[in-house]
Amino acid sequence: MHDTLALRGRVVTFRDNPFVTDPVAALHHEEDGLVIIRDGRIERMGAYADTLPHLPAGTQVVHYPDCLISAGFVDTHVHYPQLPMIAAYGEQLLEWLERYTFPTESRFCDPAHAHDIARRFLTELLRCGTTTAAVFCTVHPQSVEAFFTESERLNTLMIAGKVLMDRNAPPDLRDTAQGGYDDSLALMEHWHGRGRQMYAVTPRFAPTSSEEQLELAGALLARDDSVFMQTHLAENVDEVAWVRQLFPARRSYLDVYAHAGLVRPRAILGHAIHVDEPDLATCHDSGCALAHCPTSNLFLGSGSFRLFDAMDPRRPVRVGLGTDIGAGTSLSQLQSLNEAYKIAQGTGHRLHPAQAFWLATAGGARALHLDHRIGTIAPGMEADLCILDPAATPLQALRAQSCDSISDLLFSLMMLGDDRSIRATYVAGRKVHERA
Ligand SMILES: [Zn+2]
């Protein structure tokens, strides 16, 4: 007996990369579409009238007449333990870590606290239409256990890992190079590839790991190509200067990671604001991904990520979108896109709404080398979807009335939308959130 479900509405997805081809042409739009889901995967998608004859008898059809059906959002950089300290006043990166982040993360030695925050975090994520994320836990293995246990319960496709940090941090948040390796290996063996859960080797950033710890992180990755790596790169000018001091022999901040064998496919580097052309060329060649975190970069005054330099078709770098909670100010990728648009404007570029939504869905999946599983609506893809309501508030309803194209409607959503715009969220074909 198969489990089938069908969703009817305006379908938006991608058939191409809108940074390489005409953005409007890359966007695939079905005015009245039908998505047939079977056993957690998309079996068929097309115009309602054409697809209806293929609907298995007895299948429930859920109709969202005024909404858009999109692939679920992908968040390529976020810290679940920092959810309670979102919106912490006044500091830039290094002081912000000392004053707010480390005390908040030290509470995750308590498994009950870790489960509670993991549950709230995943609930919030799904309320925002995000179905996959690359997630930092804390230095405590129990913070990873808690996160994966809660994610497995929801069957969400999540990437997460234990933070490695053996220096320049408070004693209760420090591991050792060998201890961090052993704990990571045990977690990796238990969780990586178990259902939809995937492990990421997670050095916080170069200043809090010794050279020995970074090398052991590289050794962990060398054991299994399918394991992820996540860290931070060149977010803030003081941080970059500190790394230069700590690793004087390396050409650049990125080179610290490259030297340890960390820069490779499925490596996700958060921020990458203060990087140069040779760094971007290394990123292109290696197949790693950069996570653009607009609300965080503006909140901490870190600088402006040069998205269009990174996406240069002559040596394109894989880029995804990150909320970077707790430095980010919203878990909603619509809010990330709002700020990404403004950052692009400030650097002399225009972020087309098709490019923006691609970054939040198909592009994010591609950045993570998961585009064969998630990020688009097509036969065989896993049915992680969000239902977007372009008229969630009276103002948005008014604005939507004047939209004369799907691009304009998407633009109004990314500028005015947030969690209220998410009518429902589906994970592997099962509804996991419905707006009240
Ligand atoms: Zn971060």
Q: How far does the centroid of ligand 1 lie from the alpha carbon of residue 117, in Å?
A: 17
- pLDDT digits 0-9 by tens, 59-84: 999 999 999 999 999 999 999 999 99
pLDDT for the residue numbered 235: 96
Cα-Cα end-to-end distance for the chain = 32
Q: How far does the centroid of ligand 1 lie from the alpha carbon of residue 149, in Å?
A: 22
Q: How far does the centroid of ligand 1 lie from the alpha carbon of residue 205, in Å?
A: 9
pLDDT for the residue numbered 196: 98
Contact at 8 Å (CB) between 118 and 146? yes
For the segment 196-201, the average pLDDT, to the nearest whole number, is 98
Q: Tell me, what DSSP letter sits at residue 382?
A: B
Contact at 8 Å (CB) between 344 and 311? no
Contact at 8 Å (CB) between 428 and 195? no
Q: How far does the centroid of ligand 1 lie from the alpha carbon of residue 72, in Å?
A: 21
Give the CA count within 13 Å in the CB-facing half-sphere of 22: 3
Task: Please give the mean pLDDT across all residues of the chain.
Answer: 97
Q: How far does the centroid of ligand 1 lie from the alpha carbon of residue 373, in Å?
A: 25
Q: How far does the centroid of ligand 1 lie from the alpha carbon of residue 328, in Å?
A: 9
pLDDT for the residue numbered 388: 98
Q: Tell me, what DSSP letter sits at residue 56?
A: P
- pLDDT digits 0-9 by tens, 387-435: 999 999 999 999 999 999 999 999 999 999 999 999 999 999 999 999 9
Q: How far does the centroid of ligand 1 lie from the alpha carbon of residue 161, in Å?
A: 13
- pLDDT digits 0-9 by tens, 242-267: 999 999 999 999 999 999 999 999 99
pLDDT for the residue numbered 1: 63
Q: How far does the centroid of ligand 1 lie from the alpha carbon of residue 411, in Å?
A: 27
pLDDT for the residue numbered 306: 97
- pLDDT digits 0-9 by tens, 256-301: 999 999 999 999 999 999 999 999 999 999 999 999 999 999 999 9
Q: How far does the centroid of ligand 1 lie from the alpha carbon of residue 192, in Å?
A: 22
Q: How far does the centroid of ligand 1 lie from the alpha carbon of residue 118, in Å?
A: 17
pLDDT for the residue numbered 2: 79
